[in-house]
A and B are shown apart, each in its own frame.
Chain A
Amino acid sequence: MSATPSTVRATVKRDFADAGTDRKFAEGEKYELSRGEYENYRAAGLVEPITDTASVPAKPKRGRPPRAAKGEANS
């Protein structure tokens, strides 16, 4: 069983600042947040989790090899 990571990387959806920590966050940037910070900001719609799907190349679809067009085989 894996433990819940204590930090989360998230993308900021719009500029905002945290008065308690004096941190400023810029739209579109990625930040390392504590899990508690992340949950608060996510609840307010300020951040979204970084999904790795964008960085992983898509798997090529399995399929038959392309067939030669009719008539090409004997030409």
Chain B
Amino acid sequence: MGSQTAAGSALAISAATPATLDATGFAALTFTEINQVEKLGSFGASFAKVEFQPLKGAKQKYKGSADYGALQPSIAIDSLDAGQTILQTASDDETQKLYSFRVTYQDGAKRYFQGRSFGSPETADGADSMLMATPTIEICTKVIKVPAA
């Protein structure tokens, strides 16, 4: 059965850039896992819709520019966690530097991409809730999908 739950999924970050933007290039990097991730959210490419309505005939639809989307994980803040510290560094980084990311699913399948964190707001909610961070990682390269071995 190919279905699985999200339990056991992990998000990791690397400050390095792969030599090639493919599975081999990303696999050669050392990633640091980001601890205390509650949800990863949805991510992946979508295309702008280009429409044309001729005087005669049905509306025509074309695929326009690709947007690789954004990852918006929710994370319980852990100031001692190395992965969270690197992600915070990426959020504070005022340059256009790209960071590399790896999502690993329960069955070992991986998703690799590069992106920029556009901030990591912190949420202090009610007394019975964890102090959370919700960074927005804008994905800037095609998401490389590596199936489980």
Query: Hey, which bits of chain A sit against chain B, CB under 8 A?
Result: 15-20, 25, 34-37, 39-41, 43-46
Contact = CB atoms under 8 A, between A and B. Distances in A.
B80 A40 contact: no
Nearest to B88: A44
Contacts of A18: 32-33, 82-83
A54 B14 CA distance: 31
15 contacts: A16-B80, A16-B81, A17-B35, A17-B80, A18-B32, A18-B82, A19-B35, A25-B82, A35-B30, A36-B29, A36-B30, A40-B15, A43-B86, A43-B89, A44-B86
A17 B15 contact: no
B82 A44 contact: yes
Interface in B108-147: none
B112 to A, nearest CB: 15
Given A20-B12, A20-B83, A35-B30, 20 more contacts: A16-B80, A17-B35, A17-B82, A18-B33, A19-B81, A19-B83, A20-B31, A20-B32, A36-B16, A36-B29, A37-B30, A39-B30, A40-B14, A40-B30, A40-B82, A41-B82, A43-B15, A44-B82, A44-B85, A46-B82
A14 B132 CA distance: 22
B140 to A, nearest CB: 18
